[in-house]
Structure formats: structure tokens, C-alpha cells
Structure 1
Amino acid sequence: MNYGLTDIFTLLGALSLFLYGMKVMSDALMALAGNRMRNILATTTSNRFFAVITGFIITAIIQSSSATTLMVISFTNAGLLTLTESIGVIMGANIGTTVTAWLISILGFKVKMSALALPLLGFGFLLSLSKKANRQHWGYFTIGFCLLFIGLQFLQDSVPDIRNNPEALAFLSEYTSKGFLSVLLFLLFGTILTLVVQSSSATMALTLLMCFEGWIPFDMAAAMVLGQNVGTTITANIAALVANYQAKRAAIAHLLFNLLGVIWGLILFYPILHAMEWLMLQMGEDSPFLATATIPVALSLFHTCFNIANTLMLIGFVDWIREIVEKVVPVVADKATEIDEPHFLSESSLKFPQTAIKALFDESLRLLETTAYQAIAHGLHVHRKDLESGKKLKHILKSPDTIPLDLDRLYDTKIKTIYSCILSYATRLQSQFTLEQEKIEIIRNILIADRMLVQVVKQMNSLHDNIEHYMASDNLSIRREYNILRRHILKIIRSIHHIATAEQAETHIEKQALQKLKAEELDVLLSGRLDKLVLEGEISNDMATSLMNDSAAALRISQKLVDITTLLYTPEDALSKQIDEHSELEALEPVAVESATPDEKTPKQPPAEPAGV
């Protein structure tokens, strides 16, 4: 049998056509249902069993376990999925990928799809010319589906004619008759082949074809399937190389889960194969050990049963898997930098609108809970550790300590850069995707909260200096008045810490709403306390002027902090229902922000305007 270089390239071309058809079909399905799939993935994985079902459904629909796994890596990187949830989704994706094998086994070998492929291809092409995007995607799906089976037919036609030239099998027979060593060799072959073609579906198609053509027996094909389960994890690990430690953990968990499955699969290898043979006989089919025509269905059955059994065996050990990968991939401590940099606004998060919005949300929360929180606490001359302890505020306020703080420098190094990056990132997000009104509203609320936060930090400047000045005064009245201002703001930022660490934040947000109402009593001019203090000679005129301005600033700071907390912890709520018109308009006052880097320019206009203004 002559099988030259031209034949080899023909075989590679047929494989390329199969892979291209798979890609076109998968991309079209992602365009049709991808956003819905991502929404499902982000919201229905809280329970490990739901996570498995979600992973199965998504992979079965989009026909790509790699696409599902890459989504999982991106979502874990953005914090939309926990490590436990991501492990469950990956387990489900392993089951979902077996659907491809059934499609190929039934439609590729049992039914001659190539006869229908060309007419369907023409129909798909006509659909792709439609001006409606939905019809275009259905057209591309049909084209990809047809190319997949045309490629499979070319593969069948371009492989060597083994039936009429059995001597070509001589080299393979040397590797199929070495007992369990042969199983390990073909497992390694399946792993390497999957690494090379970067598609377990393509490797499965080649394996099924090799069985159908009589190249390899059923047991060696099953060993290749086990190898594919290992090889397919490499794609996720490559994607996780540039991601954070959480995404790396998810990728390692994928590898560990599949490796554990391969280990017990090898231990019970032959009993499992005989169980598959028994099932085939019960279905009225011939034994896959004797008839090559039945191997594709038997192999698909093995693939499905193995992945389902592996999931059922290991789903109870998800926490154990999580603990192992947490030890293998430790938490990466953030590097201390003079100029703060975004932690969540990564390029990988911009792949999907869900991860991008989550990145905006997380970066804004980080700005509130770390830098701004510290600036406000220190601005009131209170150490963060004291505020987060169980000490009562009246005891904390008795401390005579003052905290030196350069708020202008803190703003320049820790806040301005982050705020500028948030604005730029939001602009890119809204220009890159066509977003639903609900998501646009969430982005608006986050941006308004960030702008108000910047204003609060700026307003703390004069308050910090006057507190330091008057807390050292011998005048008990002025010290008491400034402690009233400090106590009220401290109550609000202490509740922010409680909200950040509590599972149910609603109660604390409701308490903050009460603090917003009480904040109106802070203004000594509106409450009439200022006249009383001056008339009774308790404070001087200079003290009265400072107190009047600082009490008004404390009122604004308190109200804005409540509004910021409401917007950032409930960003999906309508803005008009949560903050009053005055605060909303004040939040839209321009804030001067310079670019983080010379190459990154702040947008001339805000990326979104708030609803109702």
C-alpha cells in the first residue's frame, strides 16, 4: 500500500476541515446563546449539584468543553464563581462533552450525513446572508455543522485502506499486544494527540474513526479516551497562566479531577470494558471486542458512563479537592506599590460583560473598603484596628492620639489612579458590548458611587485638620461638638465593615438609612445649637465659624457614605429609589482626574449618565 506525503496532507486537511466546522458551529452557538449561558453560569452554581448540571447543559449546547472551561476560568478570575462552584461546573462539562461523541457515532457512522451536508450547507449559506443577526448565527451554525460531517467523511476517505492492506497494521500490533503496558501507551497517545489538536472532540472523532476502520481494538481506544480526559485539561491550564491565583486553582482542580478519574479508571479498566460489552449485548448489538462496527457506539457509551461515574464518585470530595489545590496554589500577596494599581480591571475580565461588570464592582468595593475606609478613619484620628474591634465608640473617642495624614498625597497615590482606571474601563465595557438596560443601570450606579467616594475623601481634608486642632483645645464644648461629628461618621464606616463581612447585608443597610436621617442633626446652624453655643459664650467666634463649616461637611459626608454603600452593595436597584435627588446631582459634579499613565487618557465625558437626571 502506497501512502505518500500527499495522502498525509490530505488527511491533515480533512482533520482541519473537521476542526474548523466544530469551531464555526461552537462560535455560532456562543453568539446565539452565549450571553444567556454566561448568565446561567454566573447565577445558578451556588449548589454543587446545580453547578454540575449547569456545566453539563452549557457544554452540551455549545458543543465545546474547552469553551465552558475557559468561561469558568474567566469567571473564577473575576470572582463570579468560587473555587467550589467552578469545580462543580467542570465536572458537568466533562459529562457534557460526551454528547459530541454520540453525535459523531450515530450521525457520522450510522447515518450518512455527507449526503445531506451539501444541501444543508447551501441553506446555511442563505441564512448567513440575512440582515438579521439571529438568522446569520443560525446560518453559521448550519454551515459549521455541515463542515464537521463533511470533514469527518473526508477523514474516512483519506485514511489508509487497512481492510485491503492488513500488513499496514503490523506496526500497531506491536503496541496492542503488550498487555497493560499497551493500555498506558495508548493513554499517553490520547493525551498527546489532544494536546496537539487542542480539541478533545477532534481526538474523539479520530479515535472513533480508527476503531471503525479497524486500526485499533476496543480496549486501546478506551485507553485513548482516558488520555483525552487528561489532555483536555491543558487548555484550561494554559489560559490560567496569565490569570490570578483563583483561576489557577480552578485549572489545577480540573487537572486533579480528571487525573483521579483516570487512576481509578485504570485500576478497574477491564471490568469496566466488560460491563460495556454486557450493555451492548443487552442492547442487541455485537460485542465491541469482536465487531469493529459496534465499537463507536460502545466507545461513546464508555466515555459517557466513565465521566458520569467519575463525577458521582468525586462530587462528595469537592471540598477535599479544593483544599488540595489551595495548598498547591497559595494566595499571592499583593505587591506594595507607591502608586496603587487596579486589582480586578484586567483584560481577561473584559472578555464577557458579566465578568467586566463584576470587575468594576469589585474594584469599586476595594476602593471603598480599603483606601477610602482608611482615609476616613484616619481623617477622624481613629485607627482602623480600633474601629473594627469590639470597643465602644465612646471609649475610642477618649483617646488623645492624633494620626498624621496627608490626604492630598493619599489621593494622588491611592485613589486618583484607580478612579481614572474605573472610568476608562467602564467606557471600554460599554463600547465593546451591547448591554441590556439593567446592566447599564448597574454600571451607572457604580460610577456615581465612585464619584461620590472621591468627593468624600476630598471633603475629609479640612475636617481632619480642624479635628486635630480642636481636640487639643482646653475648651470642653468644642471638643464635645467635634466628637459628635466624629461619632456619627464612625458609626457609618463601622457599619460598612459589618456589611463587607456579613452574609446578609440588608439589615446593616437599613440601619445606615436611619443614620442618614439622623445626620441632618449634625449641622449646628440648622439645628440651632450654634446660636446657643455662641450666645452662652461656650465657644469663640472663630470656633463657631469652623464648627459651622465642618458640621455641614460632616452632614454631606455621612449622607454620601450611606448612598455609596447602598449603590455598591445593591447596584442592581434603581438609582432613584435609593438616593435623593440632591445627593444624585451633587454626585455628578465634575471631579478632576488625571490619567494613570501617559498612554491612558481619561474620557472627556462620563461613560454613563444616571437615570432620571
Structure 2
Amino acid sequence: MRTFLKPGWLPVALLVLLILFFLKIELATLAAGVALFIMGMRHLEDGFRAFTGGALERWLSRSTDRLWKSLAFGFTSTALVQSSSLVTLLSIAFLSAGLISLMAGIGIVFGSNLGTTTGAWLIALVGLKVDLASVAMPLLVFGVMLGRRAEAHWKGIGQVLLGIGLLFFGIDLMKAGFASFEGVLNLDSYAFSGWLGVIIYVLLGLLATVLMQSSHATLMITLAALASGQLAYDNALAMAIGANLGTTVTALIGALGSNNAGRRLAAAHILFNGVTAAIALLILPLLARSVDSIAYVLGIADDAYTLKLALFHTLFNLLGLVIMLPFIPVMIKMLMRWFPEGVPVGSTEIKPSVLSNQPRARALYLNDSALMHADTALKVLDQELLHLAALTRQVIAASTYLPPAVLLGMPRRQLHEAVRAPVAAAQRENADVLYERHIKGVYSDIVDFISRMDISLLPEQQQVLMEHNLAGRDLVEAVKAAKHLQKNLRKQLDDAPPVVYAAYAVLREQCGLALLALGRLEDIQGDAAAQAELFYEYEKDGKLFSAEFQKGVQLQLRNRELDGWQATSLLNDMHYLMDIRRHLAMAHTALAARGEVVEQVIVPYEPEPVEVEQPQKRERPIKAKAKPLTRKNRKGGRERIEPSL
């Protein structure tokens, strides 16, 4: 729960509460009930989160593909977790991560508002008439026992039972707290009539919901006060409207850490609750008479104010839903205009300007709202890695002086001619500058986001997170290999003999072909067989090129077309190119899987040592040795080298 007190005010607030509790034990009982109720909601939320596992995306796609399904999903989920604020915040996270559409998100929020009425009915029908403390005790025991299990599903069940037990205990304490006020303090004497009373109690309900971050807790206090005779019925109606309006503040706070997609849904939530509250206030006398008429038909007694309050809460939420449903298409257009779309996920945006002159790149899709749930966090992380992959391809192309069109699928013949043409001065960008400007910031944001993922992960989710982490490192290592390649490439473009210039043109062409091949992944997204075939051909072409290039260098060295210095430089730079290919392939293999377990088809490149003869001194042979991705450990196995940022 977010705090609305600055750190300096917290000791003062605690001291004031302590004095009040000491003076009025009844107030301490009431406050303890509210605290247990809120704590129970938190445990209930955590327990239901544990049930989703990694299947949340598939579950959402089936449950929200129609508007009526989204409404039902919002209603049911709120009835289960008894927290419309949680459902709204999770919906913002789902939308910001791309798991649901805006239409589905609006449907969930609208259904969630109607779902809050179930809590009022349960409390009015059962909670205020049954000794809930006796029911809560075994639930608390079972909840604590199961919550200590290591298995995620048992731990989730334990959290749910513990949450329900705390809710019941909180309700019982609040009942006892208000009952103890009888004869000590009569809050009903402070009742306000007319529109003044409506405004005061709407604001009171709004303030209570904002402070407790729970409209359910506000309704519970209202029902308990109403049942004990401490609150007038008319004032309770206004307080229920204020409680509904207070949830918009929670949505607004949640949207601050989200992207434009999440802000659209928060705005839709504010519009719905604001319009519903305004209509309810304008026709409040009519709604009150309608409640009396419906209560008479249902056989509810005139003095059963708690049931009539639950009926009123249902009626005005249902009225708002009926009024707002036809305007959803208009609302979507308006929200899209207020909060326009950002850059498409994984897009390769080619700009005519020099890449090093473009603005410094930072993460586009990572947001605090996504950290609420494991699936949303992994989803936005996947999107951000696609963004980093697109930037990596751009930086590698610019670092090897390839034309920007290579990222858009230029013909191979055109690429063949482009790498043999003179490189313009404007095209010779500094790889170190490109790395600092376009790669390091985004990768730093990814690392920071992963470090803040303070959520429990299932084993399969931990595997996905590890693969994503390695994919990000592979992308960074590919750019670093391009930085090394550029050092010699820059020297050889102007002063090199024709045979050396031609050899570096071949290296640049091979880099361009690798980028062209990986660029095809967007066309075959979702086709696992086509992706496996692409990576197989990619690996086969790389091995064939490596063998042919080394043979060509050896032949030119024997024919004295190259000297030893030139030959070793070419072989070293070829290995940097193979490092680029390997790291790109490993990263894109993980990203193509998109969190699913697929067979790893990329084998780390380890060429056979090739002897290169020196034309003058025949001493030790020069061995072409690839920069390893793995290394031997003490036990004789192999371990992966962890690259640094």
C-alpha cells in the first residue's frame, strides 16, 4: 500500500494515534479491525497471484477476447480478491505490457466496479450477523501452516486462507469497536441533512478510501457504523458514492509509473467512476426511492439499512455501467487521441540522420506498473529486449559502415556493390559513441528493472528470466565485438592495398548478410519450424564462410599477396565478425522463443586451428583461434563466461 505521509510526519501521526488509543480503547479496537481487514486483503491478493503461474497470458487471451467476457472477468476477479483497486492496477499493468487490448481493459474495469458490490452484500447478509471470529481462527491456523510450504500452489492456498481469516477477524473487531461506542459517543448526533450532508460524507468516503487504498474497507466501516446505529442512512449512501470515487486516486497513482497504454485505462477508470458518481449524486433522491421500491419487492424490511445500502451500491454501479457501455468506442478514440501510440515493439526505425546525432536511447517499455505481476514484468522485459535487439542491429550496421537499407532487407546484389564502394566521411561513425548513446542506457535500464523484480517466480518463469538476461548480455557483447572490428576496419578503408580492402569488403558483406537473415525473423514470427530452419542455415553459412575465408587468406599469404601482419589482422577481425554472428544468433534465438522452451539450434563457434605460413620466417605457425564463449572449469566441464556491462 502506498503511503501518503512524508517520512517526517510519520512519528507525529503514530504518536497522535497512540494517545487516542490510550484515551479510547474502543477506537483502538476499531482501528485494529481496519488494519486486519486491509492486511487480509493483501494476503488474499498475494495468494491469487500465486495461482496464475506462467499461464496468465493464455488465460487472459481466452477470458478477454470479447467485451462481455472482459466484464465477466472483471466482476469475477473482484468478487474473488475483494479489491477493485488491485484489479484496476493489474489491468493497467496488463495493458501496459500488451497482454490485453484497451477494449478488454475497459471491460475489466467496468466489471470490477460492479464486482465491488459483492463485498457489500456478503458483509450485509452474513458478516454482521455471524460470529466470524470463530470461523477465522481455524482459517488462520491452516493459512499459516500451508503458507510455509515450499510449493507455490500450496503457498498460494495458504495465503488465501490466511487472507480470508484476517478479513473475518477484522470485520468482527470493527463490529465490536462500533458496538462499544454505544453510550460513549453517538456519531448519529453529528449527522448532516440535505446537500451539505451529501457533500461532507462523499468527501469523507473519498478520503477514507484514499487513505486506506480500499473501497471495500470504507464500505465495511460504513456498514458496521450503520448496523450499530452510529451513522444515518442518508449519510451512508453519500459515503458509498465517495468510496467509489476514491478508487480513482489509486488508479491515477498507478498510472504515474505506467506508459501511455496504462494511462489510457486509468483515464477510462476515472471517467467511469466520475460520471457514475455525478449521475448518482444528481438523482440521489430518485435512487433512494428506487431502492425502497426494490427492497419492498424483495421483502427487505424498511429498517434493514445495511441490506438497503448494499442494494443502493449495486443499483448506482449498474446504472453507470448501462449508461457508459454504449460510449466505449467513443471513449477509446478519445483516449487514443489524448495518449497516442508509441514506437511499435521491436521496430527498426531507420532515420536519414547520422545515428550518433540521434537522441540518447533509453528503455521504452519498462514501467513500474509491470512489476506488480511476474507475467507482466516478463512481458515488458521481452518487449524491451526486442527494442535493444533492434538498436543493436542498427549500431552494428553503422559500426561496420553498412548502408542503413541493410536493416530493411536490401537485395544481396545491392549489398555486394555497396560494401565495395568508397565509404563517405559522414557514414564513418564511432562505435564507442554509438555504444554509449544507444546501447548502454537501454541495457542499464533492463538490468535495473530485473534487480527490482521483487516478485515470486515459478521455476519456468525463472528459466525465462535467465534466458532474457543472457540475451541482453549477448546483444551487448555483439556490439562490443563490432567495436573491436571497427578499429582495424577504420585504418584499412583508405590506405590498404586493393587485396586487403577487398578482404574487408567481404567481412562487411558477411556482417550485412547476417543482419539481413536476422531481419527475416519478424516475417516468420510464431512459426517455430521456419525459425529453426533460419537459424540452421545461419549457422551453416557462418561455418562455411569461416572455413573459406581462412583458406583464402592462407592461399594469398602463400602467393605473397599478403604479408604476415596483414594476414593475422584479417584473421583476428574475422573472429570478431564470428563473435558478432554468434552473439546475435544466441540472443535472437532466445527472443524468438518468446518465453517458450525450444531446442537451442545455435552451437558456439569453435573453428579448427589453421596454420598460416610466413613467407620469410618459418617459425611457429599462427593459429586462428576463436574468442571463446565458454571456458573449461576445474572439474573438466565447460562454463559460460559472464560478460560485463
Q: TM-score scaled by structure 2?
A: 0.72
Distance in 2, Cα, partners of 1:311 & 1:496: 48
Cα shift readout 1:572-599 (whole Å, capped 9, x = no counterpart): 23365343365898266535536xxxxx
Q: Distance in 2 between matches of 1:582 and 1:519?
A: 9
**1:562 is the counterpart of 2:562:** no
Aligned partners of 1:267, 1:508: CA distance in 2, in Å? 61
Does 1:593 pair with 2:617?
no
Q: Is the 8 A contact 1:446 1:567 kept in 2?
A: yes
Q: Which of 373, 390, 395 in structure 2 is aligned with 1:375?
A: 395
Q: Aligned partners of 2:287 and 2:529: how far apart in 1?
A: 54
| Partner SS state of residue 296, structure 1 | helix
Asked if residue 447 in structure 1 is aligned to residue 507 in structure 2, the reply is: no
Is 1:459 the counterpart of 2:501 in the alignment? no
> Does the alignment pair 1:63 with 2:82?
yes
Counterpart residue type for residue 56 of structure 1: F
Give the C-alpha shift of residue 69 in structure 1. 2.8
Are residues 1:518 and 2:541 paired?
yes
- What is the CA–CA distance in structure 1 between the aligned matches of 2:329 and 2:500, rounded to whole Å? 57
**Deviation by residue 1:469-523 (Cα, 9 ceiling, x = unmatched):** 6665897776666555434433443565565699757687457423343333322
Correspondence 1:192-341 to 2 at 5 A: 192-209=207-224, 211-212=226-227, 221-266=236-281, 269=284, 272-286=287-301, 291-293=302-304, 295-315=305-325, 317-328=327-338
Q: Structure 1 residues 329, 9: closer, same or farther in 2, change over 3 A?
A: farther
Shift of the alpha carbon at 1:567? Answer: 0.5
Counterpart CA distance in 2 for 1:107 and 1:445 is: 49
What's the offset of the Cα at 1:144? 0.8
Q: Name which of 108, 122, 133 aligns with 1:89.
A: 108
Residues 1:486 and 2:503 are matched in the alignment: no
Q: How does 1:359-508 map to 2 (within 5 A)?
A: 359-370=380-391, 372-384=392-404, 386-389=405-408, 391-392=410-411, 394-395=413-414, 397-398=417-418, 400-402=422-424, 403-411=427-435, 415=439, 419=443, 422=446, 426=450, 429=453, 434-465=456-487, 467=489, 482-494=504-516, 496=518, 499=521
In 2, Cα distance between the equivalents of 1:74 and 1:578? 34
The residue type paired with residue 206 of structure 1 is: I
| Contact preservation (8 Å) 2:72, 2:108 | yes
CA 1:34/1:390 → structure 2, altered by over 3 Å: closer, same or farther? closer
What is the aligned partner in structure 2 of residue 609 from structure 1?
none
Tell me which residue corresponds to 1:602.
none
Equivalent pair of 1:524/1:547 in contact (CA under 8 Å): no
Q: 1:533 to 1:323 in 2, by over 3 A?
A: farther
Give the match for residue 605 of structure 1: none
Structure 1 residues 255-301: Cα deviation after superposition (integer angstroms, max 9, x where no partner) = 11211223444455555555444433332334xxxx121x3223323
Deviation by residue 1:541-598 (Cα, 9 ceiling, x = unmatched):
776655544445434433432331120232423365343365898266535536xxxx
Alpha-carbon deviation of 1:453?
2.0
Which residues of structure 2 form unaligned runs of 5+? 1-19, 150-154, 344-356, 607-626, 631-638
* Selected match of 1:54 from 68, 73, 95: 73
> Counterpart in 2 of 1:607?
none
Aligned partner of 1:580 in structure 2 is 603
Amino-acid identity (%): 24
Partner of 2:122: 103
The one-letter code of the counterpart of 1:190 is G
**Amino acid across the alignment from 1:376:** I
CA RMSD of aligned residues (A): 4.5
Q: Match of 2:644, SS?
A: coil
Conservation of the 8 A alpha-carbon contact between 2:582 and 2:604: no
1:475, 1:539 within 8 Å by CA — same for their partners in 2? no
- Unaligned runs of at least 5 residues, structure 1: 595-613
For residue 365 of structure 1, report the CA deviation from its aligned partner: 2.9
2:152 maps to none
Name the CA distance, whole Å, in 2 between partners of 1:511 and 1:309: 56
Query: For the residues of structure 1 that align with 2:396 and 2:540, how far apart are their CA atoms?
Result: 20
Greater shift in the superposed pair: 412-421 or 21-30: 412-421
Contact kept? 1:495, 1:508, Cα under 8 Å? no
Alignment CA distance shift 1:246-1:264 (3 Å): same
Q: Which secondary structure state, in structure 1, belongs to the residue aligned with residue 388 of structure 2?
A: helix
Cα distance per residue 1:57-109 (max 9 Å; x no partner): 33222222223333344555566556554433322321222221011110134
2:193 is equivalent to residue 175 of structure 1: yes
How far off its partner does 1:233 sit? 1.4
Return 561-570 or 458-467, whichever deviates more: 458-467
| Structure 2 Cα separation of the partners of residues 126 and 216 of structure 1 | 35
Flag the 1:569–1:487 CA change in 2: closer, same or farther, 3 A.
same
Provide the secondary structure at the position in 2 that maps to 1:303: helix
Distance 1:314 1:478 in 2: 71
Tell me the CA shift for residue 325 of structure 1: 4.0
Cα distance in 1 for partners of 2:282, 2:166 equals 39
Q: 2:399, 2:430 within 8 Å by CA — same for their partners in 1?
A: no
Normalising by structure 1, report the TM-score.
Answer: 0.76
Q: Judging changes above 3 Å, is the alpha-carbon distance between structure 1 residues 337 and 557 closer, same or farther for their aligned structure 2 residues?
A: closer
Instruction: Describe the shift of the 1:161–1:81 C-alpha distance in structure 2 as closer, same or farther (beyond 3 A).
Output: farther
Q: Which amino acid aligns with 2:41?
A: S
Query: CA distance change for structure 1 residues 445 and 251 in 2, over 3 Å: closer, same or farther?
Result: same
